[in-house]
Structure 1
Amino acid sequence: MKNRKPPIVKVMSFNIAHGSGMDGILNLERTAAVIEDSCASIIALQEVDRFFGERSLFLDQVEWLGERLGMFTAYGANIEYEAENPDMPNHQYGNAILSKYPIAYSKNHHMTPVQQWYGNDEQRGVLEAVIEIDDMAISVYNAHLSLKDEELKLSVKEILALTQKSKFPTIVMGDFNAPPFYAPIQEMNCHFTDAFLKMKQGDAYTYPAPHSYSTSDVELKPVTRIDYIFFGPEMEVAQTAAILTDASDHLPIVADLVLARTKQNKPNHKQHSKVKA
């Protein structure tokens, strides 16, 4: 019997700004269309609301996107407020993972905040998921990290400690809020491969998303790269791209990753339910 070819998985990282575009209009269908058109099968989303407030019409964006795209979902709330009405669900804001493949396990990890005299950042987090692909499993980590240097450094150390515990090939994606020359990003590069650097696309800027102002000739263009897809040694990258869209203030990024077939013990966790469109 011939050995089967290693699977190729298209992954995406996308800070969706709770579905609000560069035009200031909330349009989650536009967000979903960008994801759908990318043909990505594993998607890491940041800034996702669940019943958060009027800005997102108190919608459960995770459930809505899962149903709209016909994908398995996992969610990690990094900010949560109790609803004034005890019959209503809590207001949540955090990270989500969508997958065409079954999600066998997920866990949200809050990053340790760093107290600073000029004020504290919002609670940051990394959502971990184990995803089953055919007869294999991979670990996916979705990060939304701090703008503050000391907290960012600590968060990267905590991410590396988490990933070292994984028994499966690992992908780390997300909004790191730091350009490639920052020391914490360099530290990530010591342990993982930056998909865009590997494909010689280090200039694939992701922030801010392009937008033309109707009142002038000024055009806003991406000037920095703060969104990343990192992968471990059991994988290779075949293709990368930053997708031009004004559906958010960040450009989504995608990578085609080739997974080497390795002998694994399958995860023994209860699978997440799949929602169908």
Structure 2
Amino acid sequence: MRFLLYNIRYAAGIGRHFHLPVPYSGYFKHTNGNLKKIVNFIKLVNPDITGLIEVDSGSFRSEKNNQAEAVAWELQHDHVYKSKSSASSMARKVPLLNKQGNAILTNQEIVSQKFHYFREGVKRLVIELELADLSVFLVHLSLKFRHRQYQLQDLYTMTNSVKKPVIVAGDFNAFKGDRELELFLAATGLKNANSNGQPSHPSRAPRRQLDYIFHSPQIQITDFQIPQIKLSDHTPLVCEFEIGSKKSPDPDPAGRRKNKTRFS
């Protein structure tokens, strides 16, 4: 199966246009044009499961359209979306902020879905999606280091109770590097699909790894890529995986495998 993780920045784009007439004004501009480009890229990748971070569910900038729903319709996939702010959060009462969330899209049968909220931080949402052979957790961690550490403790508790193999993916905002995640990975036994530590942010010249796909040992990664696509401030992560005891071939030094489709 193929998994795509992409922080799409509400399809607001990047570059000089994003910061004109004032810095970060791109967050308040219409996004449907850039969303079409993102959709075309996702269709090229043709994933079985897609985790989308920073999705607009219908504000003025997306012209009242739910971006997750629009992408799912193009792919003919099912989707699960949720606001990243809990029902009691003040953000739910603020226009634009109350339309921001995350989503998972898939062509696999959905067994169940759950929505969790961390106890700390502004970005609190965890989407848990159970499929036939695995469970997927999608997260977007806090910008504050202390909050991220508390969130990782909560995430350990959530994933530790799941019986199926898991994929835990998202924007971890690990500004201090992999050392932030060492205790979490040691406790859960999860592995990093990006075994070579390729950077994913910022997309114009990636120099740090903020986006991660972690997986249970029962899941073997058969291909991993970070396409150099500049439609968001983050680059997408693409991995192919198998579930079971079959040993996968070793990747080459660039993290690539022969006879695989390249998306960059």
TM norm. shorter chain > 0.5: yes
Displacement of 1:122 after TM fit?
A: 2.4
- In structure 2, list runs of 5 or more residues that go unmatched: 19-25, 86-90, 246-264
Instruction: Give the Cα–Cα distance (whole angstroms) in 2 for the partners of residues 38 and 130 of structure 1.
Output: 22
Displacement of 1:182 after TM fit?
A: 4.3
Instruction: Give the Cα–Cα distance (whole angstroms) in 1 for the partners of residues 123 and 211 of structure 2.
Output: 18
Identity of aligned residues (%): 27
Instruction: Give the Cα–Cα distance (whole angstroms) in 2 for the partners of residues 83 and 251 of structure 1.
Output: 29
Displacement of 1:111 after TM fit?
A: 1.1
- Find out whether 1:256 has 2:243 as its counterpart: no
Write the mapping of 1:163-182 to structure 2, written as runs, cut at 5 A.
163-179=159-175, 181-182=177-178
| Residue of structure 2 aligned with 1:109, choices 112, 116, 137 | 116
Alignment match, 1:156: 152
Secondary structure in structure 1 of the residue aligned to 2:99: strand
* TM-score, normalised by the number of residues in structure 1: 0.75
Q: Which protein has the bigger strand share?
A: 1
Q: Which has the larger radius of gyration?
A: 1
Secondary structure in structure 2 of the residue aligned to 1:222: coil
- In structure 1, list runs of 5 or more residues that go unmatched: 1-8, 85-89, 114-120, 211-220, 262-277
Letter in 1 for 2:192: D
User: Is the contact made by 1:172 and 1:229 (CA closer than 8 Å) also made in structure 2?
Assistant: yes
Letter in 2 for 1:111: F
Letter in 1 for 2:46: C
Q: Could you say if the C-alpha distance between residues 165 and 73 of structure 1 is closer, same or farther in structure 2, counting changes exceeding 3 Å?
A: same
Write the mapping of 1:17-96 to structure 2, written as runs, cut at 5 A.
17-23=9-15, 24=18, 26=31, 27-51=34-58, 53-79=59-85, 81-82=92-93, 91-96=98-103
Instruction: Give the Cα–Cα distance (whole angstroms) in 1 for the partners of residues 94 and 224 of structure 2.
Output: 41
Alignment match, 1:247: 231
Instruction: Give the Cα–Cα distance (whole angstroms) in 2 for the partners of residues 157 and 252 of structure 1.
Output: 26
Displacement of 1:180 after TM fit?
A: 7.3
Instruction: Give the Cα–Cα distance (whole angstroms) in 1 for the partners of residues 134 and 104 of structure 2.
Output: 13
* TM-score, normalised by the number of residues in structure 2: 0.78
Secondary structure in structure 2 of the residue aligned to 1:56: coil
Instruction: Give the Cα–Cα distance (whole angstroms) in 2 for the partners of residues 239 and 18 of structure 1.
Output: 27
- Find out whether 1:11 has 2:3 as its counterpart: yes
| Residue of structure 2 aligned with 1:144, choices 132, 140, 143 | 140
Secondary structure in structure 1 of the residue aligned to 2:70: helix
Alignment match, 1:196: 194
Summarize deviations over 1:125-181 as a string: whole Å, max 9, x none.
21110113xxxx210000100111111001111111101111211000000001573
Aligned pair count?
223
Structure 1 segments (4+ residues) deviating >6 Å: none
Moved more, 229-238 or 184-193: 184-193
Q: Could you say if the C-alpha distance between residues 156 and 208 of structure 1 is closer, same or farther in structure 2, counting changes exceeding 3 Å?
A: same
Secondary structure in structure 2 of the residue aligned to 1:28: helix
Displacement of 1:244 after TM fit?
A: 1.1
Secondary structure in structure 1 of the residue aligned to 2:101: strand
Instruction: Give the Cα–Cα distance (whole angstroms) in 1 for the partners of residues 147 and 178 of structure 2.
Output: 13
Letter in 2 for 1:195: A
Instruction: Give the Cα–Cα distance (whole angstroms) in 1 for the partners of residues 176 and 147 of structure 2.
Output: 17
Letter in 2 for 1:10: R
Letter in 1 for 2:54: E
Instruction: Give the Cα–Cα distance (whole angstroms) in 2 for the partners of residues 49 and 38 of structure 1.
Output: 22
Displacement of 1:186 after TM fit?
A: 1.2
Q: Which protein has the bigger helix share?
A: 2
Summarize deviations over 1:227-276 as a string: whole Å, max 9, x none.
00100021111110001111111000011111117xxxxxxxxxxxxxxx
Instruction: Give the Cα–Cα distance (whole angstroms) in 2 for the partners of residues 192 and 254 of structure 1.
Output: 18
